[in-house]
């Protein structure tokens, strides 16, 4: 499958996608996932984010994460989906590490980073990075999302994001762009259902 002459790629694990390099070169980022503690422990990702956020032409990073203390009715199921067989206390430490990582980014770059927390169930980890959509999946099983299959979808993300923010009809889009639009709409819906922290 192709989008704009570029192939949609499938990777076995987020670590194989070249995400830090893509992040470092992007002018606009939008992250929608349950948590980001893995990013906080990855020096390459931390450096890539600093590179992007300190570039004069960089626009904005929106980060939507799950709020584990919101009392969501599905918490037990989602906890098992995120990290099966991990004790709840350990997972809560992961959420705390994720929050600290995101808070530190927003503190260092207050005009470029917006943080959102949601109690709505994240349906998939989705990262809008420049002109690429990276999409994983949350599933029941022992393999966590970062180690699952990931799509890298080339797309006019800025256009799709603008359409999603305007709630535009997808009918004018070709089939691949329409599929990509669904993912972008999920990011916008998650942000709209969130409370802003920074």
Instruction: Please write the tens of the pLDDT for every residue from 59-84.
Output: 999 999 999 888 888 888 888 888 88
Do strands 113-118 and 195-196 pair parallel, antiparallel, or not at all (unpaired)? antiparallel
Handedness of CA 96, 97, 100, 106 (dihedral sign): negative
Residue-wise pLDDT for 1-27, tens only, equals 555 557 999 999 999 999 999 999 999
Per the structure, how many domains does the chain have? 1
Burial category of 143 from C-beta neighbours within 10 Å (exposed 0-12, middle 13-18, buried 19 and up): exposed
Helix-strand-coil percent breakdown of the chain, rounded to 5?
45, 20, 35
CATH number of the domain that residue 114 is part of: 3.30.870.10
**Per-residue pLDDT, 4:** 53
Neighbours of 5 (CB within 10 A): 6
**Per-residue pLDDT, 153:** 97
Which residues in the chain show pLDDT less than 50? none
The domain of 21 spans 2-196
**Per-residue pLDDT, 72:** 84
Ramachandran quadrant class, 157 (left: phi over 0; alpha: psi -120 to 50; beta: rest): alpha
């Amino acid at each position: 499958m192709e989008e704009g002459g570029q192939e949609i790629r499938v990777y076995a694990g987020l670590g194989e996608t070249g995400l830090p390099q893509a992040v470092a070169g992007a002018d606009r980022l939008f992250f929608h996932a349950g948590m980001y503690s893995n990013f906080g422990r990855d020096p390459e990702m931390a450096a890539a984010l600093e590179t992007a956020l300190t570039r004069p032409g960089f626009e904005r990073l929106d980060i939507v994460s799950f709020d584990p203390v919101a009392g969501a009715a599905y918490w037990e199921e989602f906890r098992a989906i995120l990290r099966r067989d991990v004790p709840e206390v350990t997972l809560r430490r992961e959420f705390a590490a994720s929050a600290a990582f995101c808070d530190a980014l927003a503190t260092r770059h207050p005009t470029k980073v917006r943080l959102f927390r949601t109690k709505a169930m994240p349906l998939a980890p989705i990262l809008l990075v420049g002109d690429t959509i990276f999409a994983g999946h949350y599933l029941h099983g022992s393999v966590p999302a970062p180690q699952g299959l990931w799509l890298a979808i080339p797309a006019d993300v800025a256009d799709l994001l603008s359409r999603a923010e305007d709630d535009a009809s997808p009918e004018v889009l070709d089939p691949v762009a329409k599929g990509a639009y669904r993912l972008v709409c999920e990011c916008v819906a998650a942000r709209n259902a969130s409370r802003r922290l920074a």
